[in-house]
Structure 1
Amino acid sequence: MRHVIALDVGGTGMKAALVGADGALLHEARRRTGRERGADAVIESILDFAAELCAYGEEKYGQRAEAAGVAIPGIVDTERGIALFAANLGWENVPLRDLLHERLGIPVALGHDVRTGGLAEGRIGAGKGADRFLFLPLGTGIAGAIGINGVIEPGAHGSAGEIGHIVVRPGGISCGCRQSGCLERYASASAVTQAWAEASGDPEADAADCAKAVESGDPRAAEVWQHAIDALADGLVTAVTLLDPRTLIIGGGLAEAGETLFTPLRAAVEKRITFQSLPAIVPAALGDTAGRLGAGLLAWDLLEAGDRVPAQSAPQSAPESAPHDSTPEVTT
């Protein structure tokens, strides 16, 4: 059976799959990155994991994977296949595509994690059929993927869509990017977690607990939640003004709150809209499979393009995925 390797590398864990030609997830597995052991150990973990997946596919399906797609965080040069910088993994200027090609002996495509997830959402998820969309996962931080006429826009220097570092509260909380008042310091899942832990007096409380407290009518939670909603709406209206998207796709951990997030967020964005056209604001459809599905699409696109590293594009027709044979190794 024809298949490719898809690997979604995160700050603490890796999610992988073997993806069939029809888009199905044939086999799934997880592994910790082991970032506490240093950057070199993380790279070796990625190479070993990919090699194990390659061997599994050859044994299971009687043929080697034809290509691999890898989604990674940080700043990524997709054309040269280099992981330029990732603070949470401790690496700089890692030629990851070449390292994987040397280990596996197959073509490899490297992509930015959020743009790769946006590729999947645009092709087979919530953005399918939309000519202009913005995919925005609200997790530890906030980044974005801009979909325009079937293409995920990388930008001139590979950093398009970094909406999390739009300043929405000038002079506000310091950010790791060396600015103050960035959107992700107010509206990411980690920001809500920190704010709710302080407001509730429970250091173990997180954003999901805050959402539940909002639903139960806790006024402290409602205040924390509304502050996040207001900051997010300010950032989104800036994006709407610049990009004029037809659809805003919201994903990540904070989106798991469902209408506790979406109902007030839609109202807050609509309240701020003046001359702009109000886009649809919808939840992401693919959940934590988006990175793997997108990485698989990168790999298949690479083969279709004759083993060239492709732009992260999202044509309007593609097979739906049908996950099966899930065998996770480590939950992260």
Structure 2
Amino acid sequence: MKAALAGASGAVPRGGDVDQRLPPRAPTASLLHQARRPTGRERGPDAVVEGILDFAAELRAYGEQHFGEPAAAVGVAVPGIVDEEHGIAAYAANLGWRDVPLRQLLTERLGGTPVALGHDVRTGGLAEGRIGAGRGADRFLFVPLGTGIAGAIGIDGRVEAGAHGFAGEIGHIVVRPEGAPCPCGQRGCLERYASAAAVSEAWAAACGDPEADAADCAKAVASGDPNAVRVWEEAVAALADGLVTALTLLDPRTLIIGGGLAEAGETLFTPLRDAVRRRVTFQKLPEIVPAALGDTAGCLGAGLLAWDLLTSTDRTEESA
């Protein structure tokens, strides 16, 4: 879950800490303040929501104290299923909530300050598209490879949510029919083979060390370990299959890969570019690049949501 106050942003990574950050008043990639807070998810969804509200109030007070005035708008990004239009956090398995009217609750807690609500991956994609690796691209696809795999579809400076809020769920493209079962109910989903979590699981089994993770696998690949190379090649092949399906449907100009697995650098990107190139036929090959903003993308994207809310409000007032 990520939150932002008018030129200010904050985040709660899926693992559990709140990461509070304030960038300057213009939508740039600079950060002026950061802090962490526990989500309190072990105490249930109500505690998580109350923690968000308290956190947002703290952020607002910090901005007022250090910048001389309260935030003009708030941007919040949360995981799971998000109804952005109505400001509802519909469902998040790891936080345990359902149908939380988060925008309304925040607006009330912040004394009527306008609030924009977004999905965490789409919000990160918004930042990467506007001020990160996709800057200047009219169409891009942002795919972070972490515990799972999701995607953000960027078109002309905005990110597509879809009719029901599911746009970009590339991790649940089936790439290995009748393969490993996925919590979503299907078998053979992309994220069961090419997420950082999947690579960690495969490498831990291959090397016999239950503590080994994807970063360890990447290091072993670089050193030429044949078992690591096998695990890595299987993950890259699955990822390329999923990405080619996505680019066939979406025709992005730029394909941005982020998340923990992308930290392997060219150990990932060199074979991935080759694998995608071998698979395309009539499709136009997009530029495949690493994400530029790292774990600040969601924070900055939340700030951009707030910025957009302000600019759209200004335009509405001018036309009234």
**Shared fold (TM-score greater than 0.5)?**
yes
Pairing 1:209-220 to 2, within 5 Å after superposition: 209-220=216-227
- Following superposition, the deviation at residue 266 of structure 1 comes to 0.4
Pairing 1:134-173 to 2, within 5 Å after superposition: 134-173=141-180
Q: Tell which has more relative contact order, 1 or 2 (C-alpha 8 A, sep 6+).
A: 1
Shift of the 218–308 alpha-carbon distance from structure 1 to 2, 3 Å rule, reads farther
Aligned AA (2:153): I
Name segments (4+ residues, structure 1) moved above 4 Å: none
SS of the residue aligned with 1:79? coil
What percent of counterpart residues are identical? 73
Q: Aligned residue for 2:77?
A: 71
Q: Is the 8 A contact 1:9 1:70 kept in 2?
A: no
Q: Aligned residue for 1:10?
A: 13
SS of the residue aligned with 2:21? strand
Equivalent-residue separation in structure 2 for 1:172 and 1:307 (angstroms): 51
SS of the residue aligned with 1:213? helix
Aligned AA (1:274): T
Equivalent-residue separation in structure 2 for 1:109 and 1:9 (angstroms): 16
1:237 maps to which of 238, 244, 263 = 244
2:265 maps to which of 258, 271, 277 = 258
Unaligned runs of 5+ residues in structure 1 are 310-332
Aligned AA (1:259): E
Q: Aligned residue for 1:20?
A: 24
Q: Aligned residue for 2:274?
A: 267
Deviation readout 1:178-229 (Å, 9 max, x if unpaired): 1110000100000101111111111111100000010111111111111100
Q: Is the 8 A contact 1:10 1:73 kept in 2?
A: no
Equivalent-residue separation in structure 2 for 1:74 and 1:122 (angstroms): 21
Q: Aligned residue for 2:39?
A: 33
- Following superposition, the deviation at residue 60 of structure 1 comes to 1.6
Equivalent-residue separation in structure 1 for 2:302 and 2:69 (angstroms): 20
Shift of the 206–307 alpha-carbon distance from structure 1 to 2, 3 Å rule, reads farther
Equivalent-residue separation in structure 1 for 2:155 and 2:62 (angstroms): 37
1:284 maps to which of 284, 287, 291 = 291
Equivalent-residue separation in structure 1 for 2:127 and 2:89 (angstroms): 21
Matched, 1:103 2:106: no
Shift of the 308–22 alpha-carbon distance from structure 1 to 2, 3 Å rule, reads closer
Greater mean alpha carbon deviation, residues 240-249 or residues 250-259:
240-249
- Following superposition, the deviation at residue 63 of structure 1 comes to 1.2
State the superposition RMSD in angstroms.
1.6
Equivalent-residue separation in structure 2 for 1:28 and 1:91 (angstroms): 26
Q: Is the 8 A contact 1:5 1:50 kept in 2?
A: no
Matched, 1:300 2:307: yes
Deviation readout 1:87-109 (Å, 9 max, x if unpaired): 01111100111111111121111
